[in-house]
Amino acid sequence: MNLKFLRKLSWVFALLTIISTSLFAQQRQITGKVVDKKDGQPVPGVTVGIRGKTNNVSTNDRGEFALIADPATDALVFSFIGYVRQIVPLSGKTNITVNFVEDNTALDDVVVVGYGVKKKSEVLGSVATITGAEIQDIPAPNLAGALRNRIAGVGVGQVSGRPGSAITLNIRNSTVS
């Protein structure tokens, strides 16, 4: 009889331990949505992170995100090219909606590189720019033909002289067909 009582008591303690750890857990799932303040449309691809930590997520095509954080102490950081970076303290909330404001002043000086975004003045190396007005009046059958001998480091090759034949772009020894 004593052994049966101890077994039941051990199950009760195990159950209480599981319940208490789930009740007192500080980390919770935080969900939310990022929308454009101007028109209320969702903004996909926004980077959402916890301030001071390295785990980041991105919003989906509906502007929604979900991550694990402490709602009592953490703050979320929202960033995206062309929008003002926002830091939103959670203050105990587990579901938030963020209105993103466009940053029109910084778009003229931004260069998107393969590994991030930099200001135009910070880019070292070969960055070439060509406008539509520069190639507008060039008699070429397509865009690749119009780029021929216009940008340093870009080579345009054509297999034959026939109209519609394949054209290859060679950008710094990296061939694109």
Asked whether the predicted pLDDT for residue 121 surpasses 70, the reply is no
User: For residue 58, what are the β-bridge partners?
Assistant: 47
- For residue range 125-154, list pLDDT tens digits in order: 666 777 778 877 777 777 777 777 777 777
Residues written for the chain = 177
CA of 15: how far to CAs of 6, 64, 81, 111, in Å? 14, 35, 49, 57
As a whole number, the mean pLDDT across the chain is 79
pLDDT of residue 160: 74
State CA 136 to chain mean position distance.
Answer: 34
Q: Which residue has the higher pLDDT, 140 or 107?
A: 140
d(CA 27, CA 58): 19
- For residue range 26-55, list pLDDT tens digits in order: 788 899 999 998 898 999 999 999 988 888
- Contact residues for 157 (Cβ-Cβ < 8 A; gap 6+): 167, 168, 169, 170
Report the run of H or E that residue 75 belongs to, with start and end. Answer: strand 75-79
Reduced to 3 states (helix: H, G, I; strand: E, B; else coil), residue 69 is strand
Instruction: Compute the average pLDDT of residues 165-175.
Output: 73
Helix spans in the chain (H): 2-23, 132-135, 143-147
**pTM (whole model) above 0.85:** no
User: For residue 50, what are the β-bridge partners?
Assistant: 76
Domains of the chain: 27-127 (2.60.40.1120), 128-176 (no CATH)
Q: What DSSP designation does 27 have?
A: -
